[in-house]
């Protein structure tokens, strides 16, 4: 199920998704910071960007476990701009808890 992020119940699982995503990227690019080291700063950035652009965070949930997420940012760029940014998507990949 895809639903809105709920800070009261999803914060730790969202953070775990960010850590897993970063560690997956680090396997490809070893110079990236560790997931645990960057997750809190990244989430603060994501929350701030969503607040500034009327954006929102969606989570993918499987059996009550957050298995991925997407941050969607609204854009106020002119309609003729060929480089409009419509949002971005991040996925945590496979979370073992979501497979149960």
In sequence order, which residues have a C-beta less than 8 Å from that of residue 3 and are 6 or more positions away? 58, 59, 61
In sequence order, which residues have a C-beta less than 8 Å from that of residue 99 and are 6 or more positions away? 62
Output the pTM of the full model: 0.76
Domain count, the chain: 1
Side-chain-facing half-sphere of 81: CA atoms under 13 Å: 9
pLDDT tens-place string over residues 58-87: 999 999 999 999 998 877 666 666 555 544
pLDDT tens-place string over residues 25-59: 999 999 999 999 999 999 999 999 999 988 999 99
- Which residues span the domain enclosing 49? 2-99
Contact 6, 85 (CB under 8 A): no
């Amino acid at each position: 199920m895809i639903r809105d992020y709920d800070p009261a119940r999803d914060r730790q699982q969202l953070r775990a998704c960010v850590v897993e995503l970063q560690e997956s990227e680090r396997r490809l690019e070893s110079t990236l910071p560790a997931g645990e080291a960057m997750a809190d700063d990244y989430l603060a950035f994501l929350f701030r960007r969503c607040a500034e652009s009327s954006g929102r965070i969606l989570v993918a949930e499987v059996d009550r476990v957050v298995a991925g997420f997407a941050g969607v940012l609204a854009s106020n760029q002119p309609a003729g701009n060929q480089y409009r940014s419509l949002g971005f998507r991040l996925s945590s990949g496979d979370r073992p808890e979501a497979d149960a």
